[in-house]
Amino acid sequence: MLRITDARTGEFVEAAPVRRGLTRIEAHTPGHDTASLRVLLVTDLLVRALELGGTPVWALLAGRHDQAELRASAAALGMRPLEDSHDVGAGLGEAQVIHVVTEGGAAPEGVRLTVGPVTPQDGLPADTGPAAVRLALLSRPRTAPARLDADALGAAEATLARWRRAVAAWSRHPSRPIPEEVRGGLRAAWESDLDMPAVLDVLRRVEQAGPELPEGARFETYAYADRLLGLELTRDVGAPS
């Protein structure tokens, strides 16, 4: 069961308190900047995590400023499109409403999920790969400040290249089930307040595991985790080695 910290109370709440009940998520963005992109990334992760758990989700983008530019940047980073909250009518009897906001940002009543600041605020270095931006942001706790500088993005690019090569190599071996302790570790991490650094730690342990973990199980683990992470880890499968 996915549990998140409600910034209003500082306490854990269930993101989907009613089994199979609809959860509405509203992303509140202050403008077209990296902080707003991080809000949309957390929204994207929340949607993916709930859907992996079988919860129907209605995801909306609140606000009127710079929406076209923001949507284009979000799409470039592999985020799913959000409906415009001003174009929809009344709610559909949701079991839960969650507002994703910047730290200190205002939001209507409901569970509030806060996102830490990002520097630089006004743009990204040229020629930055979208998956590297995602990984650099995922590597920091959701509420902690994040930095998208050359060092952070370079480290993310190197990790992505290494993981994609490994996944492509593992895919050439017979498929094997994901060990239950690994699957459980992944779910326990993301279901505990969307702890993405802990999810990435599980992947690192799988990468570094000994020969007792078959290559086919490593491949299935990374493919499964990428349904949440959205890093295109299987992109090079089938490409010439």
The domain ranges of the chain are 3-123, 154-229
Lowest mean pLDDT among 23-27, 67-71, 90-94: 90-94
Q: Is the peptide bond before 197 cis (omega within 30 degrees of 0)?
A: no
Task: For the domain made up of 154-229, give the CATH fold.
Answer: Four Helix Bundle (Hemerythrin (Met), subunit A) (1.20.120)
pLDDT in tens, 137-183: 999 999 999 999 889 999 999 999 999 999 999 999 999 999 999 99
From 62, 44, 76, select the one nearest 190 (Cα to Cα): 44
pTM assigned to the model = 0.92
pLDDT at 91 over 60: no
Q: Which pLDDT does position 62 carry in this prediction?
A: 85
pLDDT at 109 over 90: no
Q: What is the pairing mode between strands 96-102 and 146-147? A: unpaired
Contact between 159 and 232 under an 8 Å Cβ cutoff? The reply is: no
Residue 126 vs residue 201, higher pLDDT: 201
Q: What is the dihedral of CA 158, 219, 189, 105, to 10 degrees?
A: 50
pLDDT at 126 over 60: yes
